[in-house]
Structure 1
Amino acid sequence: MSNHEKINYVEYPAHDLAATKTFFQQVFGWTFEDFGPDYIAFKNDILEGGFFRSELRASTDHGSALLVFYSEALEATQAKIQDAGGSIIKPIFSFPGGRRFHFMEPSGNEFAVWAQLID
């Protein structure tokens, strides 16, 4: 499959690069590469991106796009997020076809996790 005109990189602000890096390593197993004191790049199985040092944060309340993770065990993923220092900002709720919750990582960026409903 061609990567031509496909999304292949995403960037987020982060005021605490070290805490953000540790969080995503612990919860999702991301690997990171440091590019100086103000930028870290990440890789996972699907998407690559980075975090740049900034006091800004990505939040749907401010019109930001929302990256959504998939989980086969929603409650277990939620517990991992909380154990790693993330905070749940929208508890688990149902929607047609699934359930999800929103969380904030240590630098204040909002993400979500969803799980498909199993009959």
Structure 2
Amino acid sequence: MITTPYVPGSLLWVDLGSPDVKASAAFYAALFGWEFHSQGPEAGGYGMFTLGGRTVAAAGPLMAQGASSAWTVHFHTPDADATAKAVEQAGGTVRMAPMDVFTAGRLAGFTDPTGAEFAVWQPGDTRGLDAVNDPNTLCWAELHTTDPERAKAFYRAVFDWRTEDMPMGDFTYTVVSPATGGEDAGQGGIMGLSEEMRQGGWTTRWRPYFEVADCDAAVGAAGENGGTVVVPPQTVPGVGRMASLADPFGAAFAVITSATE
């Protein structure tokens, strides 16, 4: 599970790029109860989503011409510049060169060799999200890719992640964890895109998961507020009840009501 004492390679931030930040904020307020707080004109429209006064995500306007709305997951790095070099050496590309974000930290954006975009954050004043795993907060991230083996090799080379393959019927699900941390440090998964998924419009991407108290109720709320149900609620024994959604501008994410012991 994600933990807020963030260590190198850990999932520590998630933000939304939107063509209409105000409208997106209204959608997630209705769905998760989030409040949006702009960081002011100097931040270019970027702002924080909070829940109970704690930062749980962020959002900002789309910056690149032709970009589509999407959630981006960020992983901790102690040195963004060194990570950029590691990404290139492992076959990825630098989408956004390392840059300082005021005194908050240092940011860089990349694309892995299979086409999935992600980012890294070198903490300064901002260490990461204040809350994870609680209802209506980030709890997991999942990479759907056309080449799982290449993706696993890439992220191991860049972050030194631990990986554990778990056969699940006709496919294998790989749980990824930071190099340091206990047995419960799993923070995400990697799985291949099936032909059925590809025909359904799924593409290579990282998809954030948000914990919810009631998966079915969350799916209903998403639909009532302009979202789209991509995969309806389904129960995975021992894991929980989950669904894949898209917000009104097409940003993909999932919700899950985790199974209890």
- Give the shorter-chain TM-score range: 0.7 to 0.9
The answer to whether the Cα contact below 8 Å between 1:38 and 1:53 also exists between their aligned partners in 2 is no
> Residue in 2 aligned with 1:116?
258
Mean alpha-carbon deviation: is it higher for 92-101 or for 47-56? Answer: 47-56
> Residue in 2 aligned with 1:43?
50
Per-residue displacement from partner, 1:19-43 (whole Å, max 9, x unpaired)? 1110011111111122346433322
> Residue in 2 aligned with 1:88?
229
The answer to whether the Cα contact below 8 Å between 2:214 and 2:257 also exists between their aligned partners in 1 is yes
Stretches of structure 1 lacking an aligned partner (at least 5 in a row): none
Helix, strand or coil at the partner of 2:205: coil
Stretches of structure 2 lacking an aligned partner (at least 5 in a row): 72-143, 145-201
> Residue in 1 aligned with 2:28?
24
TM-score of the aligned structures, taking structure 1 as reference length: 0.77
TM-score of the aligned structures, taking structure 2 as reference length: 0.39
Cα distance, 1:109 vs structure 2: 0.6
**Size of the alignment, in residue pairs?**
119
Q: Report whether the alignment pairs 1:99 with 2:241.
A: yes
Which of 1 and 2 has higher RCO (CA within 8 Å, sep 6+)? 1
Quick one: distance in 1 between partners of 2:69 and 2:228? 14
Aligned residue runs from structure 1 range 3-14, under 5 A? 3=6, 5=8, 6-14=10-18
Quick one: distance in 1 between partners of 2:211 and 2:37? 24
State the 4+ residue runs in structure 1 displaced beyond 6 angstroms: none
Cα distance, 1:46 vs structure 2: 6.2
Quick one: distance in 2 between partners of 1:117 and 1:10? 23
* TM-align CA RMSD: 2.7
